[in-house]
């Protein structure tokens, strides 16, 4: 099966007026615009996600909603607490157990949890440091044998947000 | 600085008539066509390579030539023995020392040497197993602090050949 780890888009700062907690921070106007374009790029990859799972925080939830809308997969969207920033890799994998019969799971969340999860999936329990650039709006695809994984998975691809947006736009005439 | 590891395109089988050694295997017609398209996708990323270094084997040399031509960087192309299949990560890095003042180095070569090099650059000397899907015509970008690297680098992106080709083609109307 395949897990896809998508980091939320650009959100407003925590000290903006009206923002009372980190969990309430929404995407900025630019963040929404860029995420929408990135989602169109993601659509070109042709992956049919069985489920879109998101952290309950507003910036992640909004990111997941944009992707679900662009891919016409609104009915697949659900929040899981295992993707919240205060969660852990073990907690997240525990929460994913009920999705183990799915083929393509999209997870929308935060750093460093997503990067730690990628390192765990690629390395197993040893988990040496692995520095993957998962920028805001960036995504990677990891193939694993089962959930929880029995052996280290394979990093299939890692797309920077700019590359996702490029996929959505027309190439200039050669 | 940034190292980009590009695996050669699809080559003819070793038992084709007229092929006397592994090093002589050229790209297939399909391999050439796909590689040309992938190179156009690579061009959209806007990276100005300071040098395009290739394994001396025909299939790698041809791949590098296609990229150099599409990017108008023919003068930057050179063969280095450190990228040959029988080389090692240590030998390759030794051979790269004279390029240490460059910013963007494209390396065109073979598996498993490129994957081993990626694992070394991302992990340092410990080098646990790291499974990165570097398909024929696939490429990854790794940022390192110096050459030879003083600390583990960062995987910036990893593009499957199909994704490179998608970058080269027009998106369907949304």
Residue in B108, B95, B96 with CA at minimum distance from that of residue B139: B108
Both tokens of B66, joined, read 């296609």
pTM of the model: 0.94
Question: Quick one: average pLDDT of B34-49?
Answer: 96
Which residues have a Cβ under 8 Å from the Cβ of A41 and sit 6 or more positions away? A159, A163, A164, A165, A166, A167, A168
> Taking CB atoms and an 8 Å limit, are A133 and B157 in contact across chains?
yes
Yes or no, beta carbons of B133 and A154 under 8 Å apart = yes
What average pLDDT does the segment B35-52 reach?
96
Residue B172 has a pLDDT of 54
Q: Is the pLDDT of residue A174 over 60?
A: no
Q: In whole angstroms, what is the distance from residue A22 CA to residue A12 CA?
A: 10
Query: Is a pLDDT exceeding 80 seen at residue A173?
Result: no
The alpha carbon torsion through B159, A79, A31, B174 (nearest 10 deg) reads 60
Residue B38: per-residue pLDDT: 97
Say what the pLDDT of residue A58 is.
97
Instruction: Report the pLDDT averaged over residues A132-144.
Output: 96
Which pLDDT tens digit goes with each residue over A9-56?
999 988 888 888 889 999 999 999 999 999 999 999 999 999 999 999
Encode pLDDT of A29-42 as tens digits: 999 999 999 999 99
CB atoms within 10 A of CB A147: 18
For residue range A84-104, list pLDDT tens digits in order: 999 999 999 999 999 999 999
Instruction: Give contacts of B163 with chain A, Cβ < 8 Å.
Output: 45, 157, 159, 167
Which residue in chain A has the smallest CA separation from B167?
A167
CA torsion A90-A139-B50-B106 (nearest 10°) is 70
Task: Say what the pLDDT of residue B174 is.
Answer: 46
* Averaged pLDDT of chain A: 93
Q: What is the pLDDT of residue A15?
A: 84
d(Cα B60, Cα B11) in Å, to the nearest integer?
9
Q: Per-residue pLDDT averaged across B143-148, rounded?
A: 92
Contact A157 B128 (CB under 8 A): no
The shortest C-alpha distance from A117 to chain B (Å) reads 14
Per-residue three-class SS string for A35-53: HHHHHHHHHHCCCCCCEEE
CB environment A77-101: b (16+ within 10 A), e (fewer):
bebbebbbeebebebbbeebeebee
d(CA B138, CA B167): 13
Using CB atoms within 10 Å of the CB of residue B122, give its burial: 0 to 12 exposed, 13 to 18 middle, 19+ buried. Answer: buried
How close B60 comes to chain A (CA, Å)? Answer: 22
- Find chain B residues with C-beta within 8 A of A152's C-beta: 129-131
Q: Identify the residue among A36, A167, A168 best suited for mutation to test binding to B, counting B beta carbons within 10 A and taking the highest.
A: A167
CA of A54 vs chain B CAs: smallest distance (Å) = 23
The model's confidence at residue B98, banded by pLDDT at 50, 70 and 90, is very high
Cβ-defined contact of B166 to A167 (cutoff 8 Å): yes
Residue B90 has pLDDT above 50, yes or no: yes
Q: Which residues of B touch A142 (CB under 8 A)?
A: none
Kindly identify which residue of chain B lies nearest to residue A42, measuring between CA atoms.
B163
Question: Could you give the 3-state DSSP secondary structure of residue A106?
Answer: strand
pLDDT for B127 equals 61
Kindly state the average pLDDT of the residues B76-85: 97
For residue A19, the model assigns a pLDDT of 84
């Amino acid at each position: 099966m395949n897990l896809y780890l998508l980091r939320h888009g650009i959100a407003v700062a925590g000290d903006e007026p009206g923002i009372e907690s980190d969990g309430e921070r929404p995407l900025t106007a630019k963040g929404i615009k860029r995420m929408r374009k990135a989602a169109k790029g993601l659509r070109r990859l042709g992956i049919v996600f069985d489920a879109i799972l998101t952290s309950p925080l507003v910036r992640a939830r909004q990111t997941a909603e944009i992707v679900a809308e662009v891919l016409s997969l609104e009915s697949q969207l659900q929040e899981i607490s295992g993707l919240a920033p205060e969660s852990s890799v073990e907690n997240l994998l525990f929460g994913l157990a009920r999705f183990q019969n799915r083929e393509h799971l999209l997870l929308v969340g935060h750093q460093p949890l997503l990067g730690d999860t990628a390192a765990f999936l690629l390395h197993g329990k040893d988990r040496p440091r692995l520095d993957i650039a998962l920028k805001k709006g960036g995504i990677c695809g990891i193939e694993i044998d089962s959930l929880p994984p029995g052996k280290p998975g394979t990093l299939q691809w890692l797309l920077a947000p700019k590359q996702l947006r490029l996929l959505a736009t027309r190439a200039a005439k050669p």
